[in-house]
Chains A and B, each alone.
Chain A
């Protein structure tokens, strides 16, 4: 059975000037443990769709279900959401930042040492007592990943989490995220502008067309690439041909 199903989702933003249709008739489903990417030109509604899947707001029409449960207004469902920037709380220590989610869903007492374990998992030295400003951008995004994983979310939603990083940090973090998701067998959705990143990390790629956002095409990433780490995948010959294919499709949309 499908883990996540998006059925007949339409979404329209209303403002004084106009009603803008952001999403039109989106239908898709994702299996458990699958990593998919949403790509498309600006204004294709991919971030809107991600927010709807996160249950941050309700779509104008349609439903999103995870394991048969509605995501909107569901207090039980835990969802991990990573943003373009780390948005660590500057007045909290790294430890407090990581355990923030646990504190809010009141599970903190069960796992007192979870912060140090997660820091190790995301490849950071023990910096629990430091403040975010003392860390570099790449390290902070790792902490944000740890914060997201701390609540053991059912699904991870990644909203261009690597786009604000320098290239080297980005490549390293891609490998880390990919490895950790496999290890924890998490389902994930990545929104990105970067075709290469989408190919290197995903099992499937959904291409959206803009104004209004519609699902335009789905690409299956071949098994040869899926077994590789994102970094290795970037060096594979199939990678370039798939890149060309998606590039042309994307070009034709603009």
Chain B
């Protein structure tokens, strides 16, 4: 008879816990900005270098109202999202090719290791000369930084799919393409999603570095420009905006995860 009541209590305790978690998360956020502001206004830290939330905020408002910030954000966001999608997609396709041909994967194995170990941002200057200073080379940077590691991780997941699923399909005379579609790919969705999560961070790195090198627009450009004119308000503002958008992208990936993986 008390089961219903106990269940209610259980749900309430869950709700209460969640509220406390949110509460402390909020406290940390407020504390961070307050301490930053106080430390800066009392000159415990150098306000010229570390700026302060109020200065960043007023700069933010100013740049919003004159419309320049919007251009920079959309420019960078476009490059990042595109680089991110191209990187992951290309990684998945390469992984599929490697899975398709075990011989090819044996041949290419050392090259993948080398490409993965190499710092991709070092390719920046070459890309800029080859593709030209602009959107193309920045998107390529955003993609190239994640493509090899995606390939390696996703290919490993393809290989580790339980062979008995393939055996089941084989008894139905499935072709290799059908095996890929019915078993290999769906079984690897969780891995692909976690690769996406890692790639969110990586493509921001690629794009920002790309903008450091060539761009005259975008958040990376604002950072490097702020550094050159010693305006650290600008640097920190750009950083905070990047943090916000990177988080939003991450959340979108989680949303995709919920849609794609129905069985857990």
- A interface residues (Cβ-Cβ under 8 A, vs B): 54, 56, 75, 78-81, 83, 85, 87, 89-91, 100-101, 104-105, 131-133, 151
Contacts and interface: CB of A to CB of B under 8 A. Distances in A.
21 contacts: A56-B167, A56-B170, A78-B173, A80-B171, A83-B167, A83-B168, A85-B164, A87-B164, A89-B186, A91-B186, A91-B261, A100-B172, A104-B169, A104-B172, A104-B178, A104-B182, A105-B173, A131-B263, A132-B263, A133-B263, A151-B172
A83 B261 contact: no
A80 B183 CA distance: 18
Contacts of B164: 83, 85, 87
A87 B168 contact: yes
B262 interface: yes
Contact of A90 (B172, B182, B263): B263
Interface of B: 162, 164-165, 167-174, 178, 182-183, 186-187, 189, 261-263
Contact of A91 (B167, B169, B172, B263): B263
Listed from nearest, the 5 A-B pairs whose CB atoms lie closest are A81-B171, A101-B172, A104-B172, A90-B263, A91-B186
A151 B174 CA distance: 13
A89 B183 CA distance: 8
A81 B173 CA distance: 12
Given A56-B167, A81-B167, A104-B178, A91 B173 contact: no
A81 B168 contact: yes
With a 10 A CB-CB cut-off, give which of A78, A85, A89 has the most chain B CB atoms: A89
Given A56-B171, A87-B164, A91-B262, 5 more contacts: A78-B172, A78-B173, A80-B171, A87-B165, A100-B182
Contacts of B173: 75, 78, 104-105
A200 to B, nearest CB: 25
Contacts of B262: 91, 131
Nearest to A90: B263
A75 B219 CA distance: 58
A133 B186 CA distance: 16
A165 B17 CA distance: 40
A17 B171 CA distance: 30
Nearest to A84: B164
Contacts of A79: 171
B172 A105 contact: yes
Nearest to A153: B171
B171 A54 contact: yes
A89 B172 contact: no
Contacts of B174: 104
Contacts of A131: 262-263
Contacts of A151: 172
